[in-house]
Structure 1
Amino acid sequence: MNIKERNEKAKQFILDQLAMAGQLNEIDFDNLPDLKKLKSLTQDLIHVNSKGFRGVVATALTGKFLDENYDYLNDFYGCKPRPVFENGIFYAFREMKIPCGKSDPLNVAKNVSVLDENWAKGKKPQKAAMAVVSLLRIIDNERDKAIRQKIINYFFFQLLSYSKESASISINTLDETFLSNQVVASKLISFVLRYPEAGTTPQLVISKILSFIYDRSSINVVGGDESVFGTNTTSKKPADIWIEDEGEVLNLYEITVKKIDYKRLDDSIQSLIDTGCLEKPILFICRMPDDINTLDGHQNGVLTYNNKSFNFVDISSFIKSSIALLSSRQIEALLSEIEEFVGSYLRPVKTKNGWNEIFSL
């Protein structure tokens, strides 16, 4: 079959599995061998913020459907997982409102073909990675075709259940008239620091704030609506967010709540070179001083590294100062847009509950 047909078959396989799972109930799996273990494994790999682990399982099962000789445990990349996921599974997940990103399994597989304890070691959370290995081994070792299919059904049943659980959570809608701008700032700071989703949340919040600061000007804020799925080097972006005027890049912003090391700076320099932005000013919005305490030689929030100046500012201070520039109308619109982001089926249950806890009045 050609590539397009293969991708369509991958998508249809996932749709069929989810449709089948949607007709089942928990009681339908009572006769599965070692159901307690299966329940624990699927809980560990599905109910985590990282979507990549369930993406690996879905890709492995789809690859096996496309080619019965495919050995997902020892040659995961043998099925060409990127097009299978990005051009097949991804669209099936989006159609069925299963939380996912564009390249989920590739972000955790990291070009390692053998899925075993060595692959799982160091993954975050490691428990989720080991659940992937254990579940795929159970499926691979099961000789009874009916039982094997039922185990697969159970994975998709739990995936669908998780999606329904997430969709059922209502998001607190705020009446901002009862909140001063600095109370809003304080709550947003708590939200981005406690529920960062590997950087997706702080990137979205900072980009929204910048968009409202510049909403009456000719300056556009770019990159903020993209979730953080990988390094900027692979995504061909100069930075997480940047502002431009009539297509000309002005300032670049990297948003993070993780430690910044020299590898991160090297990646940034390479991204700037690749996109022709090496001479543009770049600012890291992070947790100061914690996130830069392994970088030597920074002074007054500036570090020169490999002939490139990097600027650093504290994310909490940035949010407080930026929110102070917004009118009450802008703050109302800002919170409304962030509420929409949090309410999306793509957001994990943990993030939704965190928002409701922080912004409850």
Structure 2
Amino acid sequence: MRTTERNEEITKYLVFMRQAAIEQDTLNTPYENELNNIVAAKEPSYREVLLCIIVQMLLNPSLNASKDWYEFNPRGIYDNGPVKQFLLENGIPHTKSGPLNISKAANINMAWAERRRSPEIANQVFTISSYLETHNSFEEIQTIGISLIKKLLNEAVRVQNLTIEVPPSEDPVFLVYICMQLINNAPDAGNTPQKIAAMLLKSYHISLHTGVTVTGENDRASVTSTTSKKPGDINEEGPGIIYKVYEITVKPFDLNRIIDSYDCITKYNAECIAPIHEIIVLCRPEDCPRLDNLGYSNFYFGRFTYQDVIYYYWNIYEWIVSMLQRMPIEGRLLFFTNLSGYISDINTSEIVKIEWQKIFT
């Protein structure tokens, strides 16, 4: 079957199961508890794996994820295909490339489940997949698919209900308070401070028409510089050149992280015209290593020199205050609009949404 034909068939099955899920009040499958657990799990990747298994088995019930997961073509049907598109269109939180990342080039079996960060959830995915393989029944595959999609639609509604309408603000004092509350109470594994820093830089340059481009806003903190092929979390760039590189953290930026960072910078410098020899680290006081040159204010903690690169450690909170005070009113409004949009995004962490609610209620 050609790729376009396969994707069209999968889309038809997804649409059919969605309609059936809406029309049926109750569903009775052998694995209702397991499906509830999978959908409620912290990592959406598990439910994405199961959905990929279901739709491919509807095309070919003889497929066997426990023996040949890549026969399911997870990249083709998820990353660039109809499964992720279906989740997006229905407001269901989803990952960028969850099925591939969570499977780690392994088949979906007991050994795979035991190595996962949430082995109990992974084992439930394997249990349902194994059941479908054993029974080899189109009707049962579809029934479990309908039940899974009904739960995913309910999850979409639940997440949407976390979104609140708030009036825009240009007050720099209040905006600092928002940023500090989000960073302190909902850091989201470093994603929150990275997003805030990128949005501040972007809003600053846009409002002042500097022509500087800010990159890194759309990357998650878990994306390494090696993976993304960029020298830091956030860059200020011009045509063919990087002006400034920022590392954003609320975890220790110690020697191990400096070495990892330096490796990425070395690779970048080997291929660029203008090499990088300075990095700005935005962090808290407790995130600094033993600095070889101490700072002289609450804003600047000091620096650490590693071979031919200097790491300057700046106080992330003071930096936020400075950025908001420096930018014009339209820049602060743009920052608030972008931040509010990020909070409302279906894929933003629930803990961040809840903290946002607390700030405004």
TM-score band w.r.t. shorter chain: 0.7 to 0.9
1:61 paired residue among 32, 45, 54? 54
SS of the aligned residue for 1:138 comes to helix
The separation in 2 between residues aligned to 1:227 and 1:262, in whole angstroms, is 22
1:187 to 153, 178, 183: 178
Q: Is the 8 A contact 2:213 2:237 kept in 1?
A: yes
Q: 1:23-66, CA deviations, whole angstroms, 9 ceiling, x for partnerless residues?
A: 332xx22x43364x335423532xx3x43232222233344345
| Match in the other structure for 1:284 | 281
Per the TM alignment, residue 244 of structure 1 is displaced from its structure 2 partner at its CA by 1.4
Q: Which residue of 1 aligns with 2:2?
A: 2
Q: What is the DSSP-based 3-state SS (H/G/I as helix, E as strand, rest coil) of the residue aligned with 1:244?
A: strand
Tell me the SS of whatever aligns to 1:173.
Answer: coil
Gapped regions of structure 2 (runs ≥ 5):
295-301
Query: Is the contact between residue 284 and residue 311 of structure 1 (CA under 8 Å) also seen in structure 2?
Result: yes
Which stretch has the larger CA shift, 96-105 or 107-116? 107-116
8 Å CA contact 2:203–2:331 kept in 1: the answer is yes
Structure 1 counterpart of 2:40, which letter? D
RMSD: 3.2
2:297 aligned residue: none
After TM superposition, the structure 1 = structure 2 runs for residues 229-244 of structure 1, keeping only pairs within 5 Å, are 230-244=223-237
Aligned in 2, Cα 1:306/1:85: closer, same or farther, shift over 3 Å?
A: farther
The count of corresponding residues between Structure 1 and Structure 2 is 344
Note the C-alpha offset of 1:224. 1.3
Letter in 1 for 2:243: L
Q: Which moved more, 1:215-224 or 1:254-263?
A: 254-263
What's the CA shift for 1:168? 3.1
Secondary structure of 1:214's match? helix
What residue in structure 1 maps to residue 146 of structure 2?
153
Over the matched positions of the two proteins, sequence identity in percent amounts to 22
1:100 to 94, 100, 114: 94
User: Is contact 1:210-1:221 (8 Å) kept?
Assistant: yes
Change in Cα spacing, 1:302 to 1:80, as seen in structure 2 (3 Å) is: farther
> For the pair shown, which has the larger CA radius of gyration, 1 or 2?
2
Matched, 1:245 2:238: yes
- Equivalent-residue separation in structure 1 for 2:256 and 2:13 (angstroms): 40
Structure 1 residues not aligned, in runs of 5+: none
Distance 1:262 1:223 in 2: 23
Pairs within 5 Å for 1:298-313: 299-300=293-294, 301-305=302-306, 307-313=308-314
Answer whether contact 1:42 1:158 (CA < 8 A) is retained: no
- CA separation in 1, counterparts of 2:349 and 2:172? 27
Q: Could you tell me the TM-score, scaled by structure 1's length?
A: 0.80
1:242 to partner: Cα distance: 0.8
TM-score (structure 2 length as normaliser):
0.80
Q: In structure 1, which of residues 168, 171, 180 is the aligned counterpart of residue 164 of structure 2? A: 171
1:18 positional shift: 3.1
CA distance in 2, matches of 1:138, 1:100: 20
The match for 1:41 is 37
| Structure-2 residue corresponding to 1:32 | 29
